[in-house]
Structure 1
Amino acid sequence: MSDATPATDPAAPLGADVPRDGSGGLAFGVDVGGSGIKGGIVDLSTGELVGERFKVLTPQPSTPAAVADGIHQVTDHFAWTGPVGVTLPSVVSGGVVRSAANIDKSWIGTDPYPLLAGALGDRDFSVLNDADAAGMAEDAFGAGKDAAGMVMLLTFGTGIGSAILFHGKLVPNTELGHMEVGGVEAEHQASSKVKEDKDMSYEKWAGHVSKVLTAYENLFWPDLFVAGGGISRKAHKWVPHLTNRTPVVPATLLNTAGIVGAAMAVSAHLRP
């Protein structure tokens, strides 16, 4: 079921001169989430979408075959025939999906590449963790683009997603939200869901975030933290209360970061 109505000629709004095969410095990214599957064509020179993104609702249950069909709907909307990058809310290691957050548990143990080839045909794919994709995009085109050294993206939502980039190179599948800090998983004390569930003030919540960030920086010594997730839009309410030593800036790409990072991944032939 789609939450958008495809046009009779879905490719028309982009113009006939927009290549749909992965040439011309363009690539395609799809960001799979628990509620929606969204995608679009990305200009790799700017990190901007060519035209609007398109979204369909994530099927329920969100089995591999059903999600692959949703990805096909998104690419077909743009008449895209070239390579496709895909994010999943999962650890993807050795070409296998190892975990499943907000998608059906039947994804665990799945090899996504033949699955996607069956749904979309013979073309190149890259499948990677959604936070990793967002981190790549923010590092190249967003809040981290002018930073040197190590950039760490943290997405504060239901949990805490993480991505580490060192001089633009991704260290995949870090999953730092599950790291114990003071005997408690980081995301169980510093996610935005915890703030909401416990009705914390921004100042009190920032104290928990500072504790987690200090643990991360003592291990990795990043040069910059980029804060993502919906709560990053209100960074002015909590970032000034942080007490860790590493600078923290809000993400700038927001809803397009996963799409852009997925497109970057397939362009670079990245397969974690």
Structure 2
Amino acid sequence: MGNILAIDIGGSHIKAILLNTKGEPVSDYVKIPTPQPSTPHNILDGIKELVKGLAEYEKISVGFPGYIRDGVVKTAPNLGTSDWQGFELQNLLGTLLKKPAKVVNDADLQGIGIVSGKGLEMMITLGTGFGTALLLDGKLLPHFEIAHHPVKTDTDYDAYVGEKAYMKKGKEHWNYRMGKVFKILKTVFNYDRLYISGGNAKNLTIPLDDNMIIATNKEGIRGGARLWAND
């Protein structure tokens, strides 16, 4: 099997890289600012331009910031448009780039790439929003939009600890909030390990338990290869 094109669609940037079947990078990252407005048409046009200079690949893996079922977008809260609801991103991207494609939630893709594969493991991403994934013995469990569950009255996790909250409240108060979030996750999910990634993971200053692990997006990108491992 040849190389795999891994694409990360984010609220601020779209990134792409080529991986071998082991999940090792075989190209440099390329990225562009996420087009505004972030409509499906604009995103697909951006991806087409972004990958033009990359070498050949056989399959495509995509992490998307929203709820995906069977390659179809159900929600895209951080792209700021309702045009995504019901959009068949997996099929249409595969048609556009003329290769088989798989599209999953971005935290799910990172989780596949990072977790140890033993026990119940949770992945969270601290970026524009609050992404989550659950895996049991390395296999993805059904995706829940935990980010949009109320963490307090009329406030969900995205609003409570997302990028806007970090910028508005500052590092110290954001860390106080993250401490509360960690207590909730530990109580509710009883995970064996919690992995923390995303742009704001580096801003955590509170003590972490031994089974809480800071990971990087570069580690998570391996999920682009592992997503096809059973095919």
- The TM tier, using the shorter chain, reads 0.7 to 0.9
Q: Which residue of 2 aligns with 1:114?
A: 91
**Residue 64 of structure 2 is aligned to residue 88 of structure 1:** yes
Question: Could you tell me how far apart the structure 2 residues matched to 1:234 and 1:211 are?
Answer: 16
> Could you say if the C-alpha distance between residues 149 and 220 of structure 1 is closer, same or farther in structure 2, counting changes exceeding 3 Å?
same
**Once the 2 structures are TM-superposed, how far is the Cα of residue 261 of structure 1 from its aligned partner?**
2.1
- Matching residue's letter, 1:248: M
**Once the 2 structures are TM-superposed, how far is the Cα of residue 85 of structure 1 from its aligned partner?**
0.8
**Once the 2 structures are TM-superposed, how far is the Cα of residue 222 of structure 1 from its aligned partner?**
0.2
Aligned pair partner of 1:40 in 17, 40, 45:
17
Q: Which residue of 2 aligns with 1:65?
A: 41
**Once the 2 structures are TM-superposed, how far is the Cα of residue 200 of structure 1 from its aligned partner?**
5.2
Q: Note the alpha carbon deviations across 1:120-165, whole angstroms, 9 max, x for none.
A: 12x21101111111111121xxxxx3x7311111112332111111
Aligned residues: 229
Instruction: Name the TM-score, length of structure 2 as normaliser.
Output: 0.85
Instruction: Name the TM-score, length of structure 1 as normaliser.
Output: 0.74
Q: Which residue of 1 aligns with 2:211?
A: 247
Three-state SS of the structure 2 residue aligned to 1:132 is helix
**Once the 2 structures are TM-superposed, how far is the Cα of residue 117 of structure 1 from its aligned partner?**
3.2
Three-state SS of the structure 1 residue aligned to 2:222 is helix
Q: Which residue of 1 aligns with 2:225?
A: 263
CA contact (8 A) 1:130 1:258 kept: no
Question: Could you tell me how far apart the structure 1 residues matched to 2:142 and 2:21 are?
Answer: 21
CA contact (8 A) 2:78 2:128 kept: no
Identity between Structure 1 and Structure 2 (%): 31
CA contact (8 A) 1:132 1:172 kept: no
- Matching residue's letter, 1:186: Y
- 1:122-201 correspondence runs (5 A): 123-139=99-115, 145=116, 148-183=118-153, 184-191=155-162, 193-199=164-170, 201=172
- In structure 1, list runs of 5 or more residues that go unmatched: 1-21, 140-144
CA contact (8 A) 2:72 2:86 kept: yes
- Matching residue's letter, 1:189: Y
Q: Which residue of 2 aligns with 1:31?
A: 8
Superposed CA RMSD: 2.5
Aligned pair partner of 2:195 in 226, 239, 250:
226
**Larger Rg: 1 or 2?**
1
**Once the 2 structures are TM-superposed, how far is the Cα of residue 82 of structure 1 from its aligned partner?**
1.1
- In structure 2, list runs of 5 or more residues that go unmatched: none
> Could you say if the C-alpha distance between residues 39 and 114 of structure 1 is closer, same or farther in structure 2, counting changes exceeding 3 Å?
same
